[in-house]
Amino acid sequence: MSGRYGLVVMGTSTGGLHALTRLLAALPARYSLPIVIVQHRSKDSDERLPALLQVASRLPLREAEDKEPLRSPGVYLGPPDYHLLVEPESLALSTEEVVTYSRPSIDVLFESASYAFGSAVIAVLLTGANQDGTRGLSQIKARGGYVIVQDPASAESDFMPRHAVKHVAVDRVLPLEKIAAELVARASETRPG
């Protein structure tokens, strides 16, 4: 009996550090799905971001390397100045041009996850101030994945989640403190016959 889902992808921009800190802290240390995160960051961003997130997270967290195998429990963060993409069993990086003003871009991560994992992806879009992520979420929905968006009312910056909710038929709109429980519930779902 295998799980319905194989991967969690998350995207966030402005306000993301605070939101990710709280969300990761609420996940159990043995969370069964690999989690891949793009947080918008400048190309000069250093290793303080992964260090801060690791302090909050009980799961092992690291900045992604090219061709790194996806493991669980494990949290992988997109490095600055690279796009982060998902292959069926590993991570991949790209230096291609910026997308929606961003590298790493949330759309690039989400679209690659939907192509590699099809309907077995859970995507989470959190606080942010641009429209990156919406296109990726609609791609994930089109391929049968599961989409959670942070309730704009609870977001530090509501533009990104609001834009997504307006354009994509999302599965759940949840306040930040309820997202971890939803991720735990979805991870225990089995694949129906």
Partner 1 sequence: MTGILDPEIWQTANDARERRYAEATTELERLEMELLLLAIFRHHGFDFRSYAQASLHRRVRKHMETTRVPTISRLTELILHEPAALQRLLHDLSVNVTAMFRDPTFFAEFRKTVVPLLRTYPTVRIWHAGCSTGEEVYAMAILLEEEGLYERCRIYATDMDSTVLDHARQGIFPLSRMKEYTANYFLGGGTRSLSDYYTAKYDGALFAPRLSKNVLFTQHNLAMDRGFSEFNVILCRNVLIYFDRGLKDQTLRLFSDSLTKLGVLCLGRKESLRFSDLEHEFSALSERERIYRRNK
Task: Report the residue number, 28 or 144, with the smaller CB distance to partner 1.
Answer: 144
Helical segments of 59-193, H only? 106-117, 134-142, 159-167, 176-187
146-150/121-125 β-pairing = parallel
Answer yes or no whether residue 122 interacts with partner 1 by CB under 8 A. no
SS3 129: coil
Answer yes or no whether residue 177 interacts with partner 1 by CB under 8 A. no
Minimum CB separation from partner 1 for residue 140, in Å? 10
Catalytic, 13? Answer yes
Answer yes or no whether residue 132 interacts with partner 1 by CB under 8 A. no
CB neighbour class for 11 (10 Å; exposed up to 12, middle 13-18, buried from 19):
buried
Q: Compute the distance between CA of residue 188 and CA of residue 31 in angstroms, rounded to an integer.
A: 10
Catalytic residue among 132, 157, 158, 163: 132
35-39/75-77 β-pairing = parallel
Q: Residue 146 is encoded by which pair of tokens?
A: 């599961």
Q: Compute the distance between CA of residue 156 and CA of residue 125 in angstroms, rounded to an integer.
A: 13
Catalytic, 40? Answer yes
Catalytic, 81? Answer no
Task: Report the residue number, 18 or 87, with the smaller CB distance to partner 1.
Answer: 87
Task: Report the residue number, 115 or 159, with the smaller CB distance to partner 1.
Answer: 115
Among 60, 67, 166, 190, binds partner 1 (CB under 8 A): 67
Contact flags string 80-119 toward partner 1, x per CB under 8 A: --xx-xxx--x-xxxxxx----------x--xx-xxx-xx
Minimum CB separation from partner 1 for residue 97, in Å? 6
In degrees rounded to 5, what are phi and psi of residue 108? -60, -45
Q: Tell the residue number behind the tokens 């996850």, with chain if given.
A: 113
Contact residues for partner 1, defined by CB under 8 A: 63-69, 79, 82-83, 85-87, 90, 92-97, 108, 111-112, 114-116, 118-119, 142-144, 192
Active-site residues: which are they? Answer: 13, 40, 132
